[in-house]
Amino acid sequence: MEYLQIGITTAIAFVITVIGIPLMIPVLKRIKAGQSIREDGPQSHMIKSGTPTMGGLVIIGAVLITSLTAGKTTTDMLIIIAAFVAFGILGFLDDFVKVSMKRNLGLTAIQKLALQILIAVGLAFYQSKVSIYGTTVFIPFVNEYWDFGIWYIPFIAFVVVAMVNSVNLTDGLDGLASGVTLIVALFLAIVGTTYGFTTASVFCAAMAGACFGFLMFNKHPAKVFMGDTGSLALGGGIAAAAIMMNIELVIPIAGGVYVAETVSVILQVASYKLRKKRIFKMAPLHHHFELSGWKETKVVAVFWTTTFVLCAISLLIV
């Protein structure tokens, strides 16, 4: 797959999403699929209550159509799509509960985690059996492959679940998750093309295009949110593509913003439980900057820029 085709694939998914979102928004409004805002969140976000959510359905549709028509449909492509859609369905169920119950919390944490682990283990098992790398994992900086043996499946499952939830935590400001994921997906598409992982490259280019199209309506002030439907699907797609290219340990670098968001939550919870003190004004990290006086658009711009720099660095180490 040539670099030109990355652009073409991205453009196709972009067009599908740009056409699909305006058609979906009235439907979401009609079924009253509005976002419920956390009462303990930043008060400035209360104005966003009722904004149509579950726009991730269009992202999923655009990625599916583009991926399945852009080239040869291989088993690897079907597995990546299966993981992507499975996490999307899980997110949809979570969103459906939120919308139908008119509350911010959907499925229970145990329910979501159990289903996420099930999907992740299936993906890890497939890769361990069919990959030419077997149970080895590329280690960045030292440029070596280490065999994880029996620990491969648990490790990969952890990577997948961590990525899915990290993208979900990042989806808290207008255009934040869609913009960051657009950059990370383009990075993966370039890596896939460079090293001959055509299937993963096509999928990531489609995902980048869908995120770009969605961003046209999700940028501040957002007209629609992706919901867990979109964020879980995108996290699963990023993880699955990286695993297929055997660069799962590069993703924490390229997706450093995802990592920072998750670590901020872990530190905040741990600090409060152990010391009854908070490290951040609010977690995830983007809320801390908001409450420190940054405008929402500034936080998003800084996180986008950081992701671009981290992806550029990651290109140098793969």
CB 80 within 8 A of CB 228: no
* 293 falls within a domain: no
Mean pLDDT of 70-99: 91
178 closest CA partner among 84, 186, 143, 8: 186
Q: For residue 47, name the pLDDT band (cuts at 50, 70, 90).
A: confident
Q: Helix, strand, or coil here: 54?
A: coil
Model pTM score: 0.94
Distance CA 154, CA 164 (A): 15
80 closest CA partner among 192, 195, 209: 192
* pLDDT for residue 41 is more than 70: no
* pLDDT for residue 104 is more than 80: no
**187: containing domain:** 3-34+46-127+147-246
Q: pLDDT value at position 36?
A: 66
* 242 falls within a domain: yes
Tell me the chain's radius of gyration from C-alpha atoms.
Answer: 19
* 157 falls within a domain: yes
Distance CA 282, CA 286 (A): 8
Q: pLDDT value at position 103?
A: 60
195 closest CA partner among 148, 242, 160, 254: 242
Distance CA 206, CA 10 (A): 5
CB 211 within 8 A of CB 185: yes
Distance CA 296, CA 176 (A): 9
- Helical axes 75-101 vs 227-244, angle rounded to 10°: 160
Q: Helix, strand, or coil here: 136?
A: strand
**Phi and psi angles of residue 219, each rounded to the nearest 5 degrees, phi first:** -70, 160
283 closest CA partner among 174, 172, 163: 172
CB 232 within 8 A of CB 119: no
Tally of helices (H runs) and strands (E runs) in the chain: 12, 2
* 94 falls within a domain: yes
Q: Helix, strand, or coil here: 144?
A: strand
Distance CA 153, CA 135 (A): 8
Instruction: Extract the tokens encoding 260.
Output: 């920072």
* pLDDT for residue 59 is more than 90: yes
CB 8 within 8 A of CB 200: no
* pLDDT for residue 54 is more than 80: yes
CB 223 within 8 A of CB 51: yes
Sign of the dihedral defined by the CA atoms of residues 79, 233, 298, 284, in that order:
negative
Instruction: Give the other-Cβ count within 10 Å of 240's Cβ.
Output: 30
Sign of the dihedral defined by the CA atoms of residues 162, 165, 169, 175, in that order:
positive
* 122 falls within a domain: yes
Q: pLDDT value at position 18?
A: 98
Q: pLDDT value at position 69?
A: 92
* 137 falls within a domain: no
Mean pLDDT of 169-188: 97
Instruction: Give the other-Cβ count within 10 Å of 260's Cβ.
Output: 17
Q: pLDDT value at position 8?
A: 93
Mean pLDDT of 288-311: 97
* pLDDT for residue 43 is more than 80: no
Would residue 147 be called left, alpha or beta, if left means φ above 0 and alpha means ψ between -120 and 50 degrees?
beta
* 268 falls within a domain: no
Which helix (H) or strand (E) segment holds residue 122: the answer is helix 109-130
The number of distinct structural domains making up the chain is 1
pLDDT digits (tens, 9 = 90+) for 4-38: 888 999 999 999 999 999 999 999 999 888 776 66
What's the mean per-residue pLDDT of the chain?
92
Q: pLDDT value at position 86?
A: 98
Q: pLDDT value at position 73?
A: 85
Strand partners, 137: 146
